[in-house]
Each structure stands twice: as structure tokens, then as C-alpha cells.
Amino acid sequence: MRVALLLIFIAFPLLEIALLVRAGEVIGFWPTMGIVIATAVLGSTMLRRQGLQVLGKIMDELAAGRPPLEPLADAGMVIVSGAFLLTPGLVTDTIGLLLLIPGVRTIIRRFLVQRILNSPNVVVDVVSTSTKSFEEDDSPFPHRQRRQPPGEGPVIEGEFERVNEKKRDPRR
């Protein structure tokens, strides 16, 4: 964990600075600044358009009574993309622009879902609040069993008695 933080907060900015300096040496200062500014303008334009599209998809999924898992993942990546585009640098701008491409987001989302679902520490319980039937085919996680919403399903009534406990002394 410490190595990852070291890379994120020290090595990555040093890489960005080195690339900006090298680009300035090769193509000149003003063309380098022009590239950084052009990617920021292009990225902010694409970010606004993609953000509105993702918001529309979230609203459509909610209106259909489905959990908006994919659009929410896309929204998270669009937000991360915006943060990368606001950070000056060639690597961050490239990552930010790549995250605005829907196909790239789909590949990343599939990878993350598989990694999360294959983790032994993750248990997924999905409970629907819609009025649609609760079928296995609608599940975003088809290999997991879904629970029925509370209040639906068979009710089992009965009486029980604890047989493993020692009888308590009534005087206590």
C-alpha cells in the first residue's frame, strides 16, 4: 500500500514533469502548452457530453425498474476522467481522454466486475424494489443467487425450544 501511495504522489508527478520538459525540448514550449490546453478544452467538451449521456442512461435504468449498475460505473469513470483532464500533464490527459471512450470504459468495467465477483471477500445480495417479477434472468450477477424481497415468499410458522442450553436457576 505504501509503495502504491509513493508511486501515486511522488513518482507519477515526476513522470509528468519529465514528459512535459522533454516534449518542450522536442517540439518547443508553446506547442507543448498548446497540446495541454487543447486536450483540456477537448476533454471538458467531451466530459460534458458523456456526463449527460451517462445521466440519461441512469435515469432510463431507474425508470425501467432496473439497478443502474453499468451507468453508475460509467459515471464513476467519467468523474475520474474529469479529474485526470483537470490535472495538467500528458499522461493524465491521455488517461482522461481514454476514459471518455465508451468502449474503453466497457473493457475496464468488465475487468473490475470479474475481479470483484471473484474476490473471496465480496458477497453480492441484490434486492429488487420494483413491482416486476423477481427472476434470475434479470440479475446483473447471473452466477449468484438472488434473495426475495422482504415480505415476499413463504411464511413458516412454528414453535421452538432451546435444547442445548443448561436450565437456569430461577433464583438468579
- From CA 30, how far away is CA 160, in angstroms rounded? 81
pTM of the model: 0.63
For residue 92, tell me if it sits in a domain.
yes
Q: What pLDDT score was predicted for residue 134?
A: 44
Q: What pLDDT score was predicted for residue 124?
A: 61
* Total domains present in the chain: 1
3-class SS of residue 7: helix
Q: What pLDDT score was predicted for residue 116?
A: 78
- From CA 163, how far away is CA 107, in angstroms rounded? 55
For residue 137, tell me if it sits in a domain.
no
Residue 76 is part of which domain span? Answer: 2-120
Say if residues 36 and 90 touch (Cβ distance below 8 Å). yes
Collect the ranges in the chain with pLDDT lower than 50. Answer: 133-137, 139, 141, 143-145
Q: What pLDDT score was predicted for residue 51?
A: 84
For residue 48, tell me if it sits in a domain.
yes
For residue 136, tell me if it sits in a domain.
no
Q: What pLDDT score was predicted for residue 135?
A: 47
Q: What pLDDT score was predicted for residue 163?
A: 75
For residue 24, tell me if it sits in a domain.
yes
**CA geometry: angle at 11 spanning 94 and 14, to 5°?**
70
Q: What pLDDT score was predicted for residue 24?
A: 94
- Find the length of the chain: 172
Any alpha helices (H) in the chain, and if so which ranges? 2-6, 12-27, 29-63, 69-86, 90-99, 102-117
Q: What pLDDT score was predicted for residue 168?
A: 59
Say if residues 90 and 21 touch (Cβ distance below 8 Å). no
